[in-house]
Each structure stands twice: as C-alpha cells, then as structure tokens.
Amino acid sequence: MVRKSDMKCNSPKSTPSHPKKSHIVKACSAGKEKVIRFGEQGASTAGKPKTGESDTMKKKRASFKARHSKNIAKGPMSAAWWANKTKWSILLPLCLYL
C-alpha cells in the first residue's frame, strides 16, 4: 500500500506489481495533492520519439495524443497528462509545465 505522505510531489514511479495500472504519482499543483494511478499494465507504448522512428510508432503516438487531448490539456492533476508525459513524450523539466 502506498502512503501519500511518503511520496514525493510530481515524481512518477513504476508499479510493476499493480494488477491494472503501470505507474503512480502524487500530483501537486496550486496547494492541492492527489494520488493518481495511470498507464495500462503491460501495454506497449511508443515511448520517447526516436530519430528514424517507424510510421507505425508515429501514428500510435499521434493517435494517443488525439484521443486524449482534452484530458491532457487539464494539466498535471489528470492521469492522461501524466501518461502523456511519462509514456508517450520526451521528458521535459517539470518546471515548464507548472
């Protein structure tokens, strides 16, 4: 069991033993804290964009971003935003998002 008080803010962690979700994060924004589980366990994501990436992976990434664009736009208090940042995008410094 994960305790919210023991977790660092905005630092996603892998949860390999969780039956459904692959990651967990304690999202902190505007004085609010929220524990969010995100990502499908065992799913193969496109990961970070790579030079010379196949068209299939480019389409897979674009499809995820289009399908979840409304939820990604909600910011760091949404699971889609964390999945996009952790599993589908190049990791940028968190200060650029907050």
Which pLDDT score is estimated for 79? 96
pLDDT band at 90 (very low <50, low <70, confident <90, very high): low
pLDDT in tens, 31-66: 999 999 999 998 877 666 777 778 888 888 889 999
Residue 74 covered by a domain: yes
pLDDT band at 87 (very low <50, low <70, confident <90, very high): confident
How many domains is the chain partitioned into structurally?
1
Residue 32 in contact with residue 9, Cβ under 8 Å? no
d(C-alpha 81, C-alpha 5), whole Å: 22
Q: Quote the pTM value.
A: 0.80
Host domain of residue 35? 4-43+53-96
Residue 48 covered by a domain: no
Q: How far is CA 91 from the centre of its chain?
A: 10
